[in-house]
């Protein structure tokens, strides 16, 4: 329970910050109430506050490795994070970080000691679906201590620590004595960004990776290519982007760009899972790889247009073998997303060679069997690279034989339909993740974030064993109407609602409490330079300055 002293201290803090949320229209679901958890987002599993507070000074406070820690000064993941969060806490006071340290006063907190408790800190590793992201944080004198089995949990603990720091009426930074024990509810908490329909500059991707870390999102699902453009610059097949990108030099991701994005993400505990969707959504592939796409026919003559990948040619599978061999070496994550959704059969139906192949194989007029034929061979190819794969739900729906470790991505239907789909997938023994209720490219006037907040990936009819097969979910931001000008405000803080649903305990559902914390969290993101859109009327102490 929160003590009365701390409750009024928090109220005083909010008033000092100038945060006002007292004008809320009658048709909203929220009331004017401050959360006892302040601005913590996503809400940790267990939080205990004390009314005792300590000051923090940029000239005395340090984030350091605990003597017992298995990670030392050579751990780039932690050393980068220490500097990053010091800057966040002290508004970018880099000179103070490098300056001479003076002795802290009796009421000051002088250190945050970070203790990696496992012999293998994973400092040089990449996060994975089985990563331990738990941590414990104790803020007290003489020092605060952050314990985590692996560096990934420590990163989340540093974010939580930074969220506990607040300014008093004189501008001094303070933090209350606090004990937190925390871990994510789901292992896979992702955001999909689409870089084909509109090219996203590197700095926009990096800024959103930074924001993902602020929200404890741990997967960047990179939908890197699609029908409109092929911006991935392949070493093996450079003609794909040469012919398929919007511009072969200014609108491509070079090998160095990809490497930088992967490392930037790793330093923030974020996995990068690329998606190369086939056999549909591949029109941009055709210019750089002759005979890859199916020629469409008008009557008995070619129409000059092309459809999905041609599944009847051996050259198709020779190409895919070489291409995914490269992809498996460029992207270190254990999984690659292979798509498999929305295949339009019209072109296949028009092609006489495809028709003859269908007859030879005994497929009749069922083109889902032809799609399955292609997908099955592709999965075998990718399986030989020792990668696991994720696929959209249509592949499962069409009865393709899948490896036991396949992750099936649900995106279709209304609530009842996707709940039935989740039940069917888990009943078959496969792992799954949900995106259907979290298509953030769909917007509406007003506070649509609470609909995202209410959705739960385990909300379907099934056994406990089935629900354990749900590894999480992803918020998707498809790029038809999104580029660098509007991506970030459309994504945040709406994606933050998804982040809490996937991190916090299942019973964390209070919309009033969430509104209070999310409003403050949104202002924190704005203060850190992120143009997160407002939830409702009001203002932030540090408004977004723009460019």
- For residue range 179-189, what is the model confidence (pLDDT) as tens digits? 999 999 999 99
* pLDDT more than 90, % of the chain: 85
Contacts 24+ apart (CB under 8 A), 458-467: 458/506, 459/419, 460/419, 460/420, 460/422, 460/423, 461/419, 461/423, 462/422, 462/423, 462/426, 462/427, 466/423, 466/426, 466/427, 467/426
d(CA 158, CA 137): 9
DSSP letters along 379-448, please? HHHHHTTT-EEEEEHHHHHTT----TT-EEEE--S-HHHHHHHHHHHHHTT-EEEE-GGGBTT---SS-T
Checking DSSP bridges between strand 219-223 and strand 188-194, what pairing results, if any? parallel
User: Does the pLDDT at position 96 exceed 70?
Assistant: no
Average pLDDT over residues 406-418: 97
Q: Note the Cα 217 to chain centre separation in Å.
A: 5
pLDDT band with cut points at 50, 70 and 90 for residue 171: confident
- As a dihedral over the C-alpha atoms of residue 529, residue 534, residue 539, residue 541, rounded to 10 degrees, the angle is -20
Whole-number mean pLDDT of the chain?
91
Checking DSSP bridges between strand 335-337 and strand 431-434, what pairing results, if any? unpaired
Q: What is the pLDDT of residue 13?
A: 43
Q: What is the pLDDT of residue 33?
A: 75
Checking DSSP bridges between strand 271-275 and strand 293-298, what pairing results, if any? unpaired
Q: What is the pLDDT of residue 382?
A: 95
- Tell if the pTM clears 0.75, that is, is over it: yes
Q: What is the pLDDT of residue 400?
A: 87
Degrees to nearest 5, angle at CA 204 with 199 and 207: 155
Which CA distances in Å does 504 have to 199, 417, 453, 500? 33, 25, 11, 5
Average pLDDT over residues 321-343: 96
Higher pLDDT, residue 31 or 411: 411
d(CA 46, CA 91): 28
User: Does the pLDDT at position 358 exceed 50?
Assistant: yes
Q: What is the pLDDT of residue 401?
A: 85
User: Does the pLDDT at position 5 exceed 70?
Assistant: no
Which CA distances in Å does 478 have to 211, 436, 482? 18, 13, 7
Q: What 3-state DSSP class applies to 125? A: coil
Catalytic residues: 342
Q: What is the pLDDT of residue 170?
A: 86
d(CA 353, CA 297): 10
Q: What 3-state DSSP class applies to 538? A: coil
For the chain, the 3-state helix, strand and coil shares in percent, each to the nearest 5, are: 35, 20, 45
pLDDT band with cut points at 50, 70 and 90 for residue 545: confident
Contact (Cβ atoms closer than 8 angstroms) between residue 53 and residue 177? yes
pLDDT in tens, 223-268: 999 999 999 999 999 999 999 999 999 999 999 999 999 999 999 9
Average pLDDT over residues 360-382: 94
d(CA 271, CA 391): 17
User: Does the pLDDT at position 23 exceed 50?
Assistant: no
Which CA distances in Å does 225 have to 130, 199, 222, 240, 322? 27, 10, 9, 10, 17
Q: What is the pLDDT of residue 72?
A: 82
Q: What token pair was written down for 245?
A: 């990108």
pLDDT in tens, 285-304: 999 999 999 999 998 899 99
pLDDT band with cut points at 50, 70 and 90 for residue 150: very high
Taking residue 132's Cβ as centre, other Cβ atoms within 10 Å add up to 17
Average pLDDT over residues 459-486: 97
**Any idea what DSSP says for residue 232?**
B
Average pLDDT over residues 323-335: 97
pLDDT band with cut points at 50, 70 and 90 for residue 521: very high
């Amino acid at each position: 329970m929160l003590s009365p002293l701390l409750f009024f201290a928090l109220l005083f803090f909010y008033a000092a910050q100038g945060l006002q949320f007292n004008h809320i229209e009658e048709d909203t679901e929220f009331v004017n109430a401050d959360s006892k958890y302040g601005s913590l987002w996503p809400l940790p599993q267990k939080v205990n506050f004390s009314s005792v507070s300590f000051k923090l000074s940029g000239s005395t406070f340090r984030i350091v490795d605990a003597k017992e820690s298995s990670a030392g000064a050579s751990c780039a993941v932690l050393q980068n994070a220490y500097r990053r969060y010091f800057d966040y806490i002290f508004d970018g006071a880099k000179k103070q970080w490098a300056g001479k340290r003076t002795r802290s006063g009796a009421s000051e907190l002088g250190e945050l000691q970070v203790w990696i408790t496992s012999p293998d800190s994973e400092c040089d590793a990449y996060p994975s679906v089985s990563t331990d992201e738990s941590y414990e944080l104790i803020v007290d004198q003489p020092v605060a201590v952050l314990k985590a089995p692996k560096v990934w949990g420590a990163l989340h603990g540093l974010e939580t620590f930074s969220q506990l720091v607040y300014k008093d009426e004189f501008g001094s930074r303070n933090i209350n004595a606090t004990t937190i024990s925390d871990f994510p509810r789901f292992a896979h908490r992702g955001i999909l960004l689409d870089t084909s329909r509109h090219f996203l500059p590197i700095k926009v991707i990096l800024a959103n990776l930074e924001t993902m870390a602020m929200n404890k999102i741990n997967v960047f699902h990179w939908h890197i290519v699609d029908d409109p453009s092929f911006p991935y610059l392949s070493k093996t097949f450079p003609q794909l982007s040469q012919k398929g990108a919007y511009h072969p030099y200014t609108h491509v991701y070079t090998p160095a760009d990809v490497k930088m994005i992967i490392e930037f993400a790793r330093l923030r505990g974020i996995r990068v899972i690329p998606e190369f969707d086939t056999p549909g959504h591949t029109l941009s592939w055709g210019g750089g790889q002759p005979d890859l796409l199916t020629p469409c026919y008008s009557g008995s003559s070619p129409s000059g247009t092309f459809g999905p990948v041609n599944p009847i040619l051996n050259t198709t599978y020779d190409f895919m073998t070489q291409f995914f061999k490269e992809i498996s070496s460029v992207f270190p994550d254990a999984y690659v997303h292979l798509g498999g959704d929305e295949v339009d059969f019209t072109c296949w139906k028009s092609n006489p060679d495809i028709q003859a192949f269908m007859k030879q194989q005994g497929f009749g007029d069922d083109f889902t069997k032809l799609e399955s034929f292609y997908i099955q061979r592709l999965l075998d190819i990718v399986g030989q690279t020792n990668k696991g794969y994720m696929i959209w739900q249509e592949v499962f729906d069409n009865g393709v034989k899948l490896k036991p470790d396949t992750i099936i991505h649900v995106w279709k239907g209304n609530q009842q339909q996707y709940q039935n789909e989740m039940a069917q997938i888990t009943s078959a023994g496969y792992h799954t993740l949900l995106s259907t209720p979290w298509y953030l490219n769909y917007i509406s006037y007003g506070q649509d974030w609470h609909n995202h907040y209410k959705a739960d990936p385990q909300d379907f009819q099934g056994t406990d064993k089935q629900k354990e097969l749900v590894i999480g979910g992803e918020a998707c931001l498809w790029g038809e109407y999104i580029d660098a000008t509007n991506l970030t405000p459309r994504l945040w803080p709406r994606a933050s609602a998804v982040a809490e649903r996937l991190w916090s305990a299942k019973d964390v559902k209070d919309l009033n409490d969430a509104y209070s914390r999310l409003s403050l969290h949104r202002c924190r993101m704005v203060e850190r330079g992120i143009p997160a859109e407002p939830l409702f009327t009001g203002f932030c102490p540090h408004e977004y300055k723009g460019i």
